[in-house]
Amino acid sequence: MKAEYAMKGRWFMNGDNAIAEGALAAGCRFFAGYPITPATEIAEHMAERMPQVGGIFIQMEDEISSMAAILGAAWGGLRSMTATSGPGFSLMMENYGLGYVTETPTVVVDVMRGGPSTGLPTLVGQADVMQARWGTHGDIQAIALTPQSPQEAFDLTLRAFDLSERFRTPVILLTDESIGHMTELVTIPGPEEIELVARRAPTVPPDKWLPYRAGEDLVPSMPSAGEGYGILLTGLTHDERGYPVITSEAQEAMLQRLNDKIVKFKGEIIDYEEYLLGDAEIVVVAYGITSRPAKRAVKLARAQGVRAGMLRLRTLWPFAEEAVAALSKRAKAFVVPEINMGQVALEVQRAAAGRAPVKHIGCSGRIHQPEEILAAIQEVGK
């Protein structure tokens, strides 16, 4: 499947606009959203660009309806997306769960800011990490990607759409205010250079098709409304036909497949960068904007003779626990800087399983200074 859109070349743009362009390059032709700082620029850019590519932009009355609208658009055959920040992300959670259980491919962008509640609308945060994983009720396996630059904001938006189609599930792009408002050079490839993952259409006629019958990869095929197939969507526990079945057996069977289609194929999803890890004794685990001062701190530590390295997470969920576990067998310690009070640090601690200590460096509403992270590296390296 080839991309079709109007923009190509090298542009100076902020991360929010890069996300919008990444969505268009991925074939997104429906955006429903509600303005909220610091994600509003995504909606503004989509409002201008969607008509240029034959797409649809709708400003909804709130984030609840925005999430519902993109689910409906996906079943209408369109690639869809919404964008928000903390308070709006909270409002989306119920319908995010609906998208998960109905296996609806779509993309949700959360440009994180300081919280809780309305918090710090114009300042940076990274405290929605666990909400992205556990925010909706019930057992889910979330997919969440996190960029460290406007270029990666473009690239990972493309990837988010591909993953949503491949696994038939909502995918979260979990970025932050600093990346959203940062302006850097972004290279946008032409449509001929982008190969998109196509939605898997049914291979049997309507009378033979079951909405939730899956193949070996545990992902069912998906028609669009109006193609003659009987589409049944419910938030209730259901069988292969899509009919509600209120039994523990049906619940266990449904949840097991929804879990396994992500967990058994997480090798296709998990992505990270290894920086100077070959001989590293101190491993910094970072993501998003925090990875930039963390990289500087690693360089400063190396200049002082401390063998430091960085594991930069591009995928937050599923978590790269195998990579952390392997590093914990030879690392002296981990350092985890985050713009929160400690979320990914706990995941690192869990994966390290006591083999190496984990030091968390938290802050709120600001970006870490490289010297703060360097001091932590020096402390655990003694």
Confirm whether 207 is domain-assigned.
no
Mean pLDDT across the stretch 67-85?
A: 98
At residue 359, does pLDDT exceed 90?
yes
At residue 4, does pLDDT exceed 80?
no
- Assess whether 31 and 166 both reside in one domain: yes
pLDDT of residue 337: 98
Alpha-carbon distance values, 348 to 5, 119, 357, 359 (Å): 40, 27, 10, 10
Cis peptide before 293 (omega within 30 of 0): no
Q: Where are the alpha helices (DSSP H) in 28-103?
A: 40-49, 63-75, 86-101
pTM of the complete model: 0.96
Among the listed residues 340, 320, 333, the one whose alpha carbon sits nearest the alpha carbon of residue 359: 333
Band of pLDDT at residue 44, cut at 50, 70 and 90: very high
At residue 205, does pLDDT exceed 80?
yes
Q: pLDDT tens, 281-313?
A: 999 999 999 999 999 999 999 999 999 999 999
Mean pLDDT across the stretch 263-273?
A: 98
Specify whether the CB–CB gap between 106 and 80 falls below 8 A. Answer: yes
**Amino acid code (one letter) for 114:** G
Structural domain range at position 149: 9-193
Residue reference for tokens 């402390």: 379
Confirm whether 281 is domain-assigned.
yes
pLDDT of residue 5: 77
- Assess whether 182 and 284 both reside in one domain: no
Confirm whether 206 is domain-assigned.
no
Domain holding 290: CATH number? 3.40.50.920
pLDDT of residue 308: 98
pLDDT of residue 7: 85
Name the token pair of 71.
């689910």
**Average pLDDT over the chain, rounded to whole?**
96
What's the structural domain count of the chain? 2
Confirm whether 222 is domain-assigned.
no
pLDDT of residue 253: 96
At residue 339, does pLDDT exceed 70?
yes
Cα 19 to the chain's mean position, in Å? 12
